[in-house]
Amino acid sequence: MIKRLLLVALAACVVASIAATQRAYAGDNKEYLVKAAFIYNFVKFVEWPDGKAISKQSNIDICVLGDSPILGAGNVFKAASTPKLALALVQENNIKNIAAHCHVVFISKAEQGRLGDTIASLKGAPVLTVSDMDGFAENGGMIGFVTSDGKIKVVVNTRSVSSAGMRVDAQLLEIALKVIDK
Partner 1 sequence: MQLLKNTSIKRRLTSIIMAISFISVVLTTLTISIIGVYSIRNNLLQELGVTASIVGDRNTAALLFNDDKQADNNLNVFSVNPVIVQACLYNEAGALFARYVSHKYQSTTQCPTDLIEREIIGEDRIMLMQPIVKMQDKIGSIYLESTQEQIVNYINRQILIATSVTFAALIVSYLLAINLQKAISRPILNLAETAHQVSIRKDYSIRAKLIGDVGKEFNNELVILTNSFNDMLTEIGARDQQLKQKNTELERAKDVAEGANRAKSQFLANISHELRTPLNAIIGFSSILMNQLFGPLGDQKYMEYSKDINESGTHLLDIINDILDLSKAEAGKLTLNYEEVHVGKAINKCITILSERAEKGKVTISHSVPKMLPPLVADRLRFIQILLNILSNAVKFTEEGGKVHIEVHTKAVGEEITHFVVTMQDTGIGMTHEDIDKAFQSFGQVDSGLNRKYEGTGLGLPLTKKLMELHQAEISIDSELGKGTLVTMTFPALPPAGVDYRPND
CB of 173 to partner 1, least distance (A): 9
Which is it for strands 59-65 and 102-107: parallel, antiparallel or unpaired? parallel
Tell me if 154 contacts partner 1 by CB under 8 A. yes
**Mapping DSSP to helix (H, G, I), strand (E, B) and coil, where does residue 64 land?**
strand
Part in contact with partner 1 (CB under 8 A); list of ranges 90-98, 101-109, 132-140, 169-177: 169-177
Residue 113 Cβ vs partner 1, minimum distance, rounded to whole Å = 29
CA distance 84 to 87: 10
41 near partner 1, judged by CB under 8 A: yes
The dihedral built from the CA positions of residue 20, 73, 177 and 52, taken in this order, carries a sign that is negative
For position 59 contacting partner 1 by CB under 8 A, the verdict is no
Nearer to partner 1, 64 or 87 (CB): 87
Q: What type of residue sits at position 62?
A: I
Candidates 95, 182, 108; CA nearest to 140 is: 182
Q: Closest separation between CB of residue 141 and partner 1, Å?
A: 18
| Closest CB 86 distance from partner 1, rounded Å | 14
What percent helix, strand, coil does the chain show, rounded to 5?
50, 25, 25
Please spell the DSSP secondary structure of 69-90, one letter per residue.
GGGGGHHHHHHH--SS-EEEEE
Q: Which of residues 98-137 bind partner 1 (CB under 8 A)?
A: none
Among 6, 88, 110, 175, binds partner 1 (CB under 8 A): 175
Q: Where along the sequence are the contacts to partner 1 (CB under 8 A)?
A: 8, 11-12, 15-16, 18-19, 22, 38, 41, 44-45, 80, 82, 151, 154, 169, 171-172, 174-175
